[in-house]
């Protein structure tokens, strides 16, 4: 009888302990969810691509709970960073809204098509290349203009030689700086592009 009584008491103590642990856990989660922290927000409307200064930011105390990791807290310095997009006044700044790299140095991915004879046959993804523009020949075979380099030190992001099975062109994607995009696109209007493996 004593054994049964002790077993019942043990089960009661375990049940009470589990109940108390559940209550404490729930209270802890509630307290954590309601905790306020300081996060960076735009003091005024910010244009994309600007360098952030102290006058552009304000700290806002707010409880973000589970989504707090998506926004930048006061513990992370933002001075000298660059905005990736326009920010509205009072809008919290997320981890995707800023970059340490200025717009002029950010890589863009540009798809182009070149003649299969105008790039090395063994060119592979990741290689550094220079891109040259070669003018078309006018009537009578006279060339108008002279070849010129349009992009230096770009990289091959993707290379699809299968497309040359159906045409004489190879589809490639070039990774290059923002400042080089317009020059590359302008060179596709006329003439042809020649891909040259960069030295070194």
Report strand pairing: 169-177 vs 148-160.
antiparallel
Q: Which residues contact 19 (CB under 8 A, 6 or more apart)?
A: none
E strands, the chain, where? 37-42, 57-62, 82-83, 98-99, 107-115, 128-134, 148-160, 169-177, 192-197
pLDDT in tens, 18-57: 555 556 655 455 555 567 899 999 999 998 889 999 999 9
Positions in the chain whose pLDDT score sits under 70 = 1-34, 138-144, 163-167, 200
Q: Which of these CATH numbers, 3.40.50.300, 3.90.1210.10, 1.25.40.390, 3.90.550.10, describes 37-99?
A: 3.90.1210.10
At 151 the pLDDT is 95
Whether 163 and 172 have beta carbons less than 8 Å apart is answered as no
Sequence spans of domains, the chain: 37-99, 106-197
- Collapsing DSSP to helix, strand or coil, 128 comes out as strand
For the chain, give the percent of residues with pLDDT over 70. 76
* pTM beyond 0.75, yes or no: no
Torsion of CA 43, 45, 49, 51, to 10 degrees: -30
Whether 37 and 59 have beta carbons less than 8 Å apart is answered as no
* Half-sphere exposure in the Cβ direction for 20 (13 Å, CA): 6
């Amino acid at each position: 009888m004593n054994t049964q009584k002790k077993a019942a008491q043990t089960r009661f103590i375990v049940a009470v302990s589990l109940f108390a642990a559940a209550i404490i856990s729930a209270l802890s989660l509630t307290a954590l969810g309601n905790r306020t922290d300081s996060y960076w927000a735009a003091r005024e409307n910010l244009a994309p691509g600007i360098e952030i200064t102290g006058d552009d930011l304000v700290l806002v105390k707010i409880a973000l709970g589970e989504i707090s990791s998506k926004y930048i807290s006061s513990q992370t310095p933002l001075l000298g960073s660059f905005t990736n997009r326009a920010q509205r006044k009072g809008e919290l700044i997320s981890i995707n809204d800023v970059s340490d790299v200025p717009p002029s140095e950010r890589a863009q991915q540009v798809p182009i098509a070149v003649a299969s004879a105008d790039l090395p046959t063994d060119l592979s993804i990741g290689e550094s290349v220079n891109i040259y523009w070669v003018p078309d020949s006018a009537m009578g075979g006279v060339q108008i203009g002279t070849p010129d380099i349009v992009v230096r030190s770009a990289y091959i992001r993707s290379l699809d030689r299968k497309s040359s099975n159906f045409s004489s062109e190879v589809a490639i994607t070039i990774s290059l700086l923002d400042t080089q995009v317009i020059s590359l696109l302008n060179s596709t209007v006329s003439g042809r592009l020649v891909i040259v493996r960069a030295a070194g």
